Structure 1
């Protein structure tokens, strides 16, 4: 009798374990990623969630990723940029002060947001790196804003990715690539 009860207990636990593994992940299936690069004496890292295009080719920019600033209907922000990834804030960290488009970004950890438009983008570094997404975005917490020009008609990229390119001993170009756009 004890043997049967033990077997039944193991079976129930295994069954519960299997069903728990079949539930949808809290991140909606987005992959969490981090990319780092040492440039000179500076360590730069970007941690982000990687949404997929799925069946939305041609519907990312201006639709899924809203143009400009938008009231998302939740949180305290009435004019929120895109969180430059999915789920939690995209986090940009630098171990020393760096120059971004000729402007100084002090060493530290920042939320990375973007206000994307059809032909331009504003990249925003916010000192509020702990909020979830851009629902609590406050422009008073901006440390730096720089302009960028999206490159369109790029090779298709299913999952959003941050990339380092054009590296020298003391500099590199950081770009976001997704669908058929690249934002350097």
Structure 2
């Protein structure tokens, strides 16, 4: 019986460590990218879902509806200087980044309420800028959603799709 009581602290530690380790394996873990466009530093923070054999476009992510462009909290887009997005001015600041996916055209949205859960409290009246772009097939399949940036554009890449947005810093 004494031996069993000596094992209890060990078992407690083992169960606690196992439970904590499982919390760190989120289905859509946080991710970010940072890049320069001219003098501007741009940061995109998002949660990165995986395809997991699901049909993404038009099913998991419906066409014609506002999407948080990631998982969990709304994706954020931050620029420390004014930039041009598809030829239109986006003032320096931190924004919630949303999209409205379509088969042939996507609406790209920068919303002034940066901290939101998903798109549940999204208000179009808070949009600072909207532009439209055309999606294209990506060079390779991407199991996990990711964003990439260059001096002249940033792209959302997921599944077999790339949505490229032109920028000027």
The TM-score range, normalised by the shorter chain, is 0.7 to 0.9
Correspondence 1:5-16 to 2 at 5 A: 5=5, 7-16=6-15
Report the CA distance between 1:153 and its aligned residue: 5.7
2:80 pairs with 1:95: yes
TM-aligned CA distance change 1:20 to 1:153, over 3 Å: closer
Please give the alpha-carbon distance, in whole angstroms, between the structure 2 residues aligned to 1:93 and 1:110. 6
RMSD (Å), alpha carbons: 2.1
Please give the alpha-carbon distance, in whole angstroms, between the structure 1 residues aligned to 2:156 and 2:44. 11
Q: How many residues align?
A: 164
Under a length normalisation based on structure 2, what TM-score does the superposition of the two structures give? 0.88
| Partners of 2:78 and 2:94 within 8 A in 1 | yes
Q: Which runs of 4+ in 1 moved over 2 A?
A: 1-5, 7-10, 21-27
Please give the alpha-carbon distance, in whole angstroms, between the structure 2 residues aligned to 1:125 and 1:62. 22
Please give the alpha-carbon distance, in whole angstroms, between the structure 2 residues aligned to 1:115 and 1:60. 14
TM-aligned CA distance change 1:26 to 1:134, over 3 Å: farther
Please give the alpha-carbon distance, in whole angstroms, between the structure 1 residues aligned to 2:9 and 2:38. 56
Please give the alpha-carbon distance, in whole angstroms, between the structure 2 residues aligned to 1:25 and 1:82. 25
Superimposed CA distance per residue, residues 136-169 of structure 1 (whole angstroms, 9 cap, x where no aligned partner): 010000000000100026411110011124x3xx
Q: Which has the higher strand share?
A: 2
Corresponding residue number in structure 1 for 2:50: 52
TM-aligned CA distance change 1:153 to 1:35, over 3 Å: closer
Under a length normalisation based on structure 1, what TM-score does the superposition of the two structures give? 0.81
| Partners of 2:45 and 2:76 within 8 A in 1 | yes
Unaligned segments of structure 1, at least 5 residues: 70-80
Please give the alpha-carbon distance, in whole angstroms, between the structure 1 residues aligned to 2:115 and 2:138. 34
